[in-house]
Structure 1
């Protein structure tokens, strides 16, 4: 479910730089004094389709109260105590709109794809008609907010804009200009912006009619817009001063709004520090960069980088919004901004006159290492700025990512990336890359992908929300990703595919992550032998992760997945795989799934996965669903609120008299279950057939302390 983005980064070279003068220090001093007005600028909206088909379940209006309510702080819409020690340590505080004061309407909960509620954090949000509001009480001092929202698409696609008034304590009104230009995709992969489009692939099987349309007589009629998705966007705002705990922030869809409705999902608030200043650096302003964003600054960035490389200086980008409409090629250079709230690199997507050698038909803003074929880049360090793209459609051959190419012995820290295709896509071979403390949101595809031969690299402390494909992925196409770690990241609301996915590779680790609310065609943690990936060899460790509201419904198979799921499609999955210390909370269907495709069910197996010290709090169906031949062992796997039989063992669907082709080993300490009895009862072992292809779903209660 990850796009193929291969090929070399586009090369550009600028004129020789001017010699820096004492003006650099003066320019830096001026920019350091710039006020909080350098908040993230509003970007445009998308379209406005039939809202009735996508509003989700209406739970009734929330009560508006006359005084401020005590703030409810959550992480992934959960009590923070339930996810302590897992996920990214972020500077902001999350508050869900459904817990705030409002005279609007709560939508949800709903986990059905193609609904506004299903794509909301926690599967709930608040819908405002013009004139209605939602009001949050600050739990901590803050001078900045992020609003996650949705507004309608334009009837013919392309998006609309709409105002959202922001007041603090009833005063100090500011107006955000919301947009839906970067939301609202439709139809079959790779999707379209046109709500009235017919099937993109009439010869593909679709679930709506369980048929191949071009082979069906008469052809089926599809409801338009077909499969609306990717509804949400988010926007940041610096408030201009610091407000205290207990102050109230009211978001109002004003009566003058052209949007028929505005959905507010959540508010993140934070206390942003002052801009960072670097005096002993090559300042982009001295080389002609325009901090107002009116002129393209790409050539000025190139000149600054070339000068900094010769003089062994860092590059400094002061506060401002800089227009950059192509790749900036980086090698052996450190580039620092004043902080990602202050330094914004923003660009348009630009159509190329002729396709690039890698197949790209567009370029856009991005910082790229040299291609691996050209030796890659080394000693690149990027930090403290935002990258805002202009990607509104998915074209997998396009290199329109925030950060890309090959970068060894490098770091990417503290960036804020949105509206690119993939936040960070790395084509190896490359080694020793550290990706830390970044925020990647509102992507058409992945937030980050290690693609092909990435080794000994770490992705840690990053926050990801609203991706159109896997949140974080390791894809070992052509050569194995080896010795990498995804640790203490938060991934929320991937609208397609998985929170974290590993496709082949050797000696990799996925640990201490928090993954919430995957929507369709994937789940929270995925181990897949697919997409032409190299085999799993050595070990794979999945340790100390927490998932919530995962175990989604797979629309093509019409069955439920597991919060963690293993899929043997192209070959066996037979590495040393250990899943230890994970918590699987509020699973829509299963907690654990091991599966193969029916067409290869007798060819491939998953022979030995070891589960230990696992907690399962709530399953709509089973703790374990086995739909493949192979085996797994279980030790200290505790479960409660299990909706169906603990083990749904179908094996590879041959149902021999000797029992299932999948066997389970009980290593002790496996406790708990549900109404059907102990989840791992002795009579199930080692390979009792307990197959129910589509068991009834029993919605579990909300997670609670263990």
Structure 2
């Protein structure tokens, strides 16, 4: 979800100058090869792993940022302005290569597989380009990785277009451009194009053919196939051999083609039907299987040889006429049956879609429908609309250990009546909307948990968002680098969601470089953002043990939509045992009536003022309509001068980039 309703605010004073190159934008700082470190520097969300110990997904790969590697290219960034290459990079910094230039990583441990996150220019008329990248492993053996920008580059207004020359999609919408937006997004978009380029990055995986030792190097050399190539990061890992199941219903026996030349959808259907009768698992051995429609699953287990070996890949197919649900395309995906499925278990394969545009009515998600009493683990979901979108009612489903990357919309969404389900240890990167979301649309989501996931670089909206619901939990997650119109963590009474009720527990999460600039409102958001638009937020909400690191603007923000500011409030939110290390502006920004309490909330490196309290903008003689309660132990001197309701409203606080996070 995105497109927050609009009310006045003010652009920030902190902006980093950018240089435009076609529609690929970046801050340029020359770094000669000799100056870059050659030792293996392993990070998590571009941070020292010690700063996020015990948080985020447990993963089997080592993340290395390109800016920490040896290169004769150019470091771009850091920068956080929307529509620029640095802003969408992990850690807000990457390396730009011209043809023949390289970036070279030193392996921190044995590896036989790599993932490269990169960006290429778009084609002049849109649609992307393709270019090779030379991968030299161990200093001698070279292979070619094919990069493409065909799945990148969205422009214009929501729901966006792939055409850089398109006129405004919504000419009647208020266009909000200001000094915070680079020159390439011109304030007269009906004249100068492209307008609002975004979603620059993609990633590609490669099996290296052998295992390389710790200390060996992986060199990535840009080709002349593109005027420039940006390398953001390298993930390296040691992939286990393919899994074999000789006692299963093997899809090859039912006519599936592992070369990908012929459509295997019907063969999958036959294998599933047989396996259900025989009470067997469906096994999909190594290969690439072309599937161009939904595979309907119910009471069945489907396992691949591992997501690096078993790839289910399909084209997006235009329908002859719209489906009853409004879809105008179909594509590869595993879906619950109409009315809901149960006992579905999916594991060990990749789903490679072909979605290049956002059409919200299309059901072209990697996994979809309703699946109760089910498990989904070990999948790699790439280039679908939403990685996993569940339309309930459904209950008791566990989603764990998956990688969901490069989506046009959400990574995962529990939509409508999902209960008692868990999302744990998943990696979500480069989504076009919320990374993880629970949306209680008409029917309440209840008793669900998002636990120990890593969400990085959502290009629109939030890392993790909860829209209404009862007794849900968000715990132990790591969220980094949201880009536009969203926050690291979001609690929203919006999009027609059912009210918050019972308890909402937000505990032991870490956000870093979160809190984007809201272009509609022209204000900076918080690393965690509460927003009352459709109704008040007054459930039992407890935020405990979170760490908000290097927040671009505020750490904590509570907002009621201006048009209903005297009707709705955000009341009774309890913050406990919080660390705030670095804010561009404030620890707390309150733009609502209501209240919050604080115990052991420690803050340092605060850019402007501890509390920016506007209340509901009536500026009464008795103070703000938002009350802060100091329950003790709030170190750093950020809170005491402003309780209970001192008005400190400033739409234009000076933004001071904080220092890098450090151990507390």
2:638 — aligned with what? 679
Whether 1:503 aligns to 2:462 is no
Cα-to-partner distance string for 1:123-171 (whole Å, 9 max, x where unaligned): 0000000010000000000000000000000000011100100001321
Cα-to-partner distance string for 1:568-622 (whole Å, 9 max, x where unaligned): 0000001000000000000000000000111111111001100000000000000
* TM-score normalised per structure 2: 0.95
Write the distance in 1 (CA, Å) between the matches of 2:588 and 2:595.
Answer: 12
Measured after TM superposition, the shift of residue 53 of structure 1 is 4.9
Write the distance in 1 (CA, Å) between the matches of 2:450 and 2:32.
Answer: 39
Write the distance in 2 (CA, Å) between the matches of 1:64 and 1:595.
Answer: 48
Write the distance in 2 (CA, Å) between the matches of 1:304 and 1:569.
Answer: 48
Return the match for 1:115 from 80, 84, 93: 84
Write the distance in 2 (CA, Å) between the matches of 1:327 and 1:335.
Answer: 14
Residues 209 and 551 of structure 1: CA distance in aligned 2, closer, same or farther (over 3 Å): closer
Measured after TM superposition, the shift of residue 52 of structure 1 is 4.5
Measured after TM superposition, the shift of residue 173 of structure 1 is 0.6
Measured after TM superposition, the shift of residue 209 of structure 1 is 7.2
1:16 — aligned with what? none
2:203 — aligned with what? 234
Return the match for 2:344 from 380, 388, 393: 380
1:38 — aligned with what? none
Write the distance in 1 (CA, Å) between the matches of 2:188 and 2:238.
Answer: 57
Return the match for 2:524 from 557, 560, 572: 560
Return the match for 2:314 from 347, 352, 372: 347
Measured after TM superposition, the shift of residue 232 of structure 1 is 0.2
1:191 — aligned with what? 160
Residues 459 and 222 of structure 1: CA distance in aligned 2, closer, same or farther (over 3 Å): farther
Write the distance in 2 (CA, Å) between the matches of 1:198 and 1:258.
Answer: 29
Q: Mean alpha-carbon deviation: is it higher for 169-178 or for 516-525?
A: 169-178
SS in 1 for 2:86: coil
* Residues 106-505 of structure 1: pairs in structure 2 closer than 5 A: 106-208=75-177, 221-254=190-223, 257-371=224-338, 374=339, 376-505=340-469
Contact persistence 2:332–2:351 (CA under 8 A)? yes
Q: Mean alpha-carbon deviation: is it higher for 551-560 or for 300-309?
A: 551-560
Cα-to-partner distance string for 1:66-110 (whole Å, 9 max, x where unaligned): 9x8111000000000000000000110000000000000000000
Write the distance in 2 (CA, Å) between the matches of 1:134 and 1:51.
Answer: 20
Residues 446 and 71 of structure 1: CA distance in aligned 2, closer, same or farther (over 3 Å): same
Measured after TM superposition, the shift of residue 689 of structure 1 is 0.2
Residues 209 and 520 of structure 1: CA distance in aligned 2, closer, same or farther (over 3 Å): closer
Contact persistence 2:23–2:122 (CA under 8 A)? no
Cα-to-partner distance string for 1:484-521 (whole Å, 9 max, x where unaligned): 00000000000000000000000000000000000010
Cα-to-partner distance string for 1:436-467 (whole Å, 9 max, x where unaligned): 00000000000100000000000000000000
Aligned residues: 642
SS in 2 for 1:655: coil
Measured after TM superposition, the shift of residue 56 of structure 1 is 1.9
Write the distance in 1 (CA, Å) between the matches of 2:555 and 2:395.
Answer: 34
Cα-to-partner distance string for 1:294-338 (whole Å, 9 max, x where unaligned): 000000000000000000000000000000000000000000000
Contact persistence 1:452–1:480 (CA under 8 A)? yes
Whether 1:59 aligns to 2:29 is yes
Return the match for 1:699 from 641, 657, 661: 657
SS in 1 for 2:653: coil
* TM superposition outliers: structure 1 runs of 4+ over 4 Å: 218-222
Write the distance in 1 (CA, Å) between the matches of 2:32 and 2:458.
Answer: 27
* Residues 507-656 of structure 1: pairs in structure 2 closer than 5 A: 507-656=471-620
Contact persistence 1:378–1:408 (CA under 8 A)? yes
Return the match for 1:91 from 55, 60, 64: 60
SS in 1 for 2:25: coil
Write the distance in 2 (CA, Å) between the matches of 1:293 and 1:237.
Answer: 18
Contact persistence 2:2–2:485 (CA under 8 A)? no
Measured after TM superposition, the shift of residue 219 of structure 1 is 7.6
Measured after TM superposition, the shift of residue 552 of structure 1 is 1.5
Contact persistence 1:492–1:499 (CA under 8 A)? yes
Cα-to-partner distance string for 1:620-664 (whole Å, 9 max, x where unaligned): 000000000000000000000001110000000000000000000
Measured after TM superposition, the shift of residue 51 of structure 1 is 2.7
Residues 624 and 222 of structure 1: CA distance in aligned 2, closer, same or farther (over 3 Å): farther
Write the distance in 2 (CA, Å) between the matches of 1:110 and 1:364.
Answer: 36
Residues 694 and 222 of structure 1: CA distance in aligned 2, closer, same or farther (over 3 Å): farther
Write the distance in 1 (CA, Å) between the matches of 2:248 and 2:150.
Answer: 37
Write the distance in 2 (CA, Å) between the matches of 1:355 and 1:164.
Answer: 40
Cα-to-partner distance string for 1:216-235 (whole Å, 9 max, x where unaligned): xx987553110000000000
Residues 65 and 561 of structure 1: CA distance in aligned 2, closer, same or farther (over 3 Å): closer
Contact persistence 2:316–2:331 (CA under 8 A)? yes
Measured after TM superposition, the shift of residue 556 of structure 1 is 1.0
Contact persistence 1:569–1:600 (CA under 8 A)? yes
Measured after TM superposition, the shift of residue 64 of structure 1 is 3.5
Residues 205 and 241 of structure 1: CA distance in aligned 2, closer, same or farther (over 3 Å): same
Write the distance in 2 (CA, Å) between the matches of 1:209 and 1:344.
Answer: 44
Contact persistence 2:591–2:616 (CA under 8 A)? yes
Measured after TM superposition, the shift of residue 63 of structure 1 is 2.9
Measured after TM superposition, the shift of residue 2 of structure 1 is 6.2
* TM-score normalised per structure 1: 0.90
SS in 2 for 1:699: coil
SS in 2 for 1:81: helix
Write the distance in 2 (CA, Å) between the matches of 1:219 and 1:346.
Answer: 41
Residues 168 and 278 of structure 1: CA distance in aligned 2, closer, same or farther (over 3 Å): same
Q: Mean alpha-carbon deviation: is it higher for 53-62 or for 268-277?
A: 53-62
Cα-to-partner distance string for 1:320-361 (whole Å, 9 max, x where unaligned): 000000000000000000000000000000000010000000
Contact persistence 1:440–1:463 (CA under 8 A)? yes
Contact persistence 1:430–1:454 (CA under 8 A)? yes
